[in-house]
A and B are shown apart, each in its own frame.
Chain A
C-alpha cells in the first residue's frame, strides 16, 4: 500500500504535533506507554497495516490508537458498522496480502465468532484482541478473564486456533508481535486475551530493534517457485500449513468456507475428504502445541504446592507466592501460562512432579482449571479455584486462600 497519499486520512494536526509523528514502527528505546497503545504499536511493528473495528469499553482505546497510527504508517483504518463486519473485513484484507487486526470485548467478541470460524476453515491469518470485560450479557466494564473458553470453543465447528494472555504493557507489545507471527506462520486466527487492567495500565515499554525481534510473514507459493498450474490452495506443506498467495499475485486465490479438497474444490463430497480437510486444520495447531505454547515456571524445585496463573492475574499471584515464600513457605511454586490455546499440556507435565495442591486464581469461576485438571489428572491431590469477578485479585485474596488450606 505504498505510493499513495495518505495525508487525506490523517487527523488535522498542528505544526508542532505533526513534527512528532513517527512515520513507521516505534524506533528502539524506552517508552512509558498505555497498554492499549503498546498493543497497537506491537501490531505496527509486526507489519499490521489494516484495522477495522467497532468501539466497546474497555477495548475502545485500542481502536482510538489504531485510528491515529495506521494512516501515519501507510495503513488503513475503518470504523465498521458492527463487530461482524469488522471481523469479516479482516478476512478480506488478509487475502489482499495485508496483516490485519481488530479489538473488541465480550459482546463484540460473541458477534465475531462466525468470522473466526470462517477464518479457521479458510486458513486466514488475522489477529483479534479481546480486552475482556465481565459477563454474561453487558456484564460490566472492568477486568475479566471470562472469555478464555469462548476464545477456543466459541466458534461453530471444529478446527483450532491460538490464544495468548499478556500480563504487562511490555507483553501487550511483545505478545501482539507474536500473535501476528503465529497467525502468519500457521495461517490461523490468533486471539490476544487481554483484560481491562492490562489494557488500561501504563508502564515502561522497551522496544528492541528489528534485528532483535523476528517478524514472520506468510509463505507464498512464489517464495517456493511453485508453478501456477501445480499450486494447490489447501495442500499442507511443512507443518501442515498451505501456501498463501494474495489476490493479484497470479496464483489462484481460493477462499473457501465449505469443506474442501486440497485443490479448493467443494464438490465431490465424501466423509473421507471431510475428515482429511478438518483434521489437518486441527492437527496443524494441536500437533505443534509444544512448539507454539509457552509456559514459565519459578520455584518448581521441591515444589509440593503450586499456584498457576495467566494474564494480569500473574501479577497478583507472583506477588502472593513471593510473599509466602519469604514467610517460610518454600514448598510453594509458581507456573504461568503465556499461551492458553493450544493448551500447553506436555510442557506443564514436563515442569511439575507430584503435587499436593494446585491453586488457580482466575477472573472467572474456574474455567482454565478444566484443561489443567486434565493435564495433571494423575499428579495432583487437590485442585483449588480462587475466583474473583470484576476486578484483579488482590494478593491478599490469594494468600488468604492458600493459608486457609495449608495453614498459616
Chain B
C-alpha cells in the first residue's frame, strides 16, 4: 500500500481521537503496516473543534499529517466546511446527516451519509457514535483487517463497555453493507 490518509474531525467529546488511535494501533501492531496518528484540538476541554489524522503506508512515513486526504470522516458541520478542500478528487466523504446538514459543495468526491449518532443510540448510548463511524470507515475502505480493528477496540475501550462498542462497530459495517 502506498500512502493512505484518513482524517477524522468533529467536536471534542465525540471520540474522534479514539477512532484515530484504534485505526493506528490496528494498522501498526496487528496489520504490520506503518501508521502515524496525530491529533489537534483547541484549548477547550470539550465542545471545541477536534481532529485526528492517520497516515498508513507499507513504506516509511515521513510527513506525519494529511497532505491530500483519501477519506474525510466529518462528524460536525465545521469539520466538513474546514477540511473538505483537503479531500483528494475521487476521495471519500463520510458524514452524519444529523450534524452535517449542508450539502458538500463538490461533485468530484463520493459522499456517504450515515446517521452514526442515531445508530449508536439504538445500541444504548450516543457515546458509541465513534464505533459506528469506525465500522463504516472499515467497510468502505477495507484498508485494515476487521480482526485487527476488533483487537484494537478491545485493547482501547474500557472492558465494561467492550461488547457495546463491538456491537456499534458491527452496526456501522451492516449499515453501509445493506
A322 is an interface residue with CB less than 8 A from chain B: yes
Task: Give A2 to B159 CA distance when docked, in angstroms.
Answer: 33
Q: Is the CB of A203 within 8 A of B40?
A: no
Q: Are A395 and B40 in contact (CB under 8 A)?
A: no
Chain A 306-318 against B: per-residue CB contact (8 Å), 1 yes, 0 no? 0000001001101
Say yes or no: A394 contacts B67, CB within 8 Å: yes
Assembled-state Cα–Cα distance A27/B79 (Å)? 40
Expressed in whole angstroms, the Cα–Cα distance for A318 and B59 within the complex equals 14
Whether a CB of chain A sits under 8 angstroms from the CB of B89 is no
CB contact under 8 A between A395 and B36, given known A30-B29, A32-B28, A318-B62: no
Hey, which chain A residues are within 8 Å of B39, CB to CB? 200
Task: Decide yes or no: A201 and B62 within 8 Å by CB, A30-B29, A32-B29, A57-B43 being known contacts.
Answer: no
Cβ–Cβ contact A316 & B35, under 8 A: no
Set A16, A202, A318, A322: member contacting B36, Cβ < 8 A: A202
State A142–B41 Cα separation when bound (angstroms). 9
- Confirm or deny: A319 has a beta carbon within 8 angstroms of a beta carbon on chain B: yes
Cα of A31 to Cα of B65 in the assembled complex, Å: 20
Interface: B34 (CB within 8 A): yes
Residues of B within 8 Å of A392, CB to CB, are 64-65
Chain B positions 6 through 32: 1 when the CB is less than 8 Å from some CB of chain A, otherwise 0 = 000000000000001100110011000
Say yes or no: is A296 at the interface (Cβ < 8 Å to chain B).
no
A204 in the interface (beta carbon within 8 A): yes
B40 with A204: CB separation less than 8 A:
no
Q: In the complex the two chains form, what is the Cα distance from A272 to B134 in whole Å?
A: 70
Asked whether A142 lies within 8 Å of B37 as measured between CB atoms, the reply is no
CB pair B40–A142 under 8 Å, yes or no, is yes
Chain B at the A interface: mostly helix, strand, loop or mixed?
mixed
* Contact yes or no, A16 B159, CB < 8 A: yes
Contact for A322 among B24, B62, B67, CB less than 8 A: B62
Chain B contacts of A315 at CB under 8 A? Answer: 62-64
Contact of A32 among B25, B40, B64, B159 (CB under 8 A): B25
Q: A200 to chain B: which residues have CB within 8 Å?
A: 38-40
Interface residues on B, range: 20 to 34
CB of B4, distance to nearest CB on chain A (Å): 15
- Please determine whether A396 and B24 come into contact, CB atoms closer than 8 angstroms: no
A264 to B152, CA, bound (A): 57
Choose among B20, B24, B34 the residue with the greatest number of A CB atoms under 10 Å from its CB.
Answer: B24
How far apart are the CA atoms of A315 and B3 in the complex, in Å?
Answer: 14
Least CB distance from B126 to A in Å reads 25
The complex places the Cα of A117 from the Cα of B25 at a distance, in Å, of: 42
CB A387 to nearest CB in B, in angstroms, measures 18
Give the shortest distance, in Å, between A84 (CB) and chain B (any CB).
Answer: 24
Task: Please name the residue on chain A nearest to B52 by beta carbon.
Answer: A202
CA distance A258 to B25 in the complex (A): 51
- A16-B159, A203-B28 given as contacts; is B35 within 8 A of A319 (CB)? no
Residues of B within 8 A of A319 (CB): 62-63
Distance in Å from the Cβ of B134 to the closest Cβ of chain A? 16
Give complex CA distance A269, B64 in Å: 55
Could you say which of A202, A203, A316, A396 contacts B62, with CB atoms under 8 Å apart? A316
- Contact in complex: B24, A202 (CB < 8 Å): yes
Give the CA-CA distance A315 to B34 in the complex, in Å: 14
Known: A57-B43, A142-B40. A203 touches B63 (CB 8 A): no
B61-98 interface code vs A (CB 8 A; 1 in, 0 out):
01111010000000000000000000000000000000
Of B20, B24, B64, most buried by chain A (CB within 10 Å of CB) is B64
Complex A-B, nearest 8 residue pairs according to Cβ-Cβ distance, in ascending order: A319-B62, A202-B37, A319-B63, A204-B28, A32-B25, A318-B62, A32-B28, A315-B62
Residues in B lying within 8 Å of A, measured CB to CB: 20-21, 24-25, 28-29, 34-40, 43, 62-65, 67, 159
Known: A200-B40, A203-B64. 6 other contacts (CB 8 A): A30-B29, A142-B40, A201-B37, A201-B38, A322-B62, A395-B63
Of the A-B pairs whose beta carbons lie under 8 Å apart in the complex, a sample of 18, sorted by A's number, is: A30-B29, A31-B29, A32-B24, A32-B25, A200-B39, A201-B36, A201-B64, A202-B21, A203-B24, A203-B35, A315-B62, A315-B63, A316-B62, A322-B62, A395-B62, A395-B63, A395-B67, A396-B67
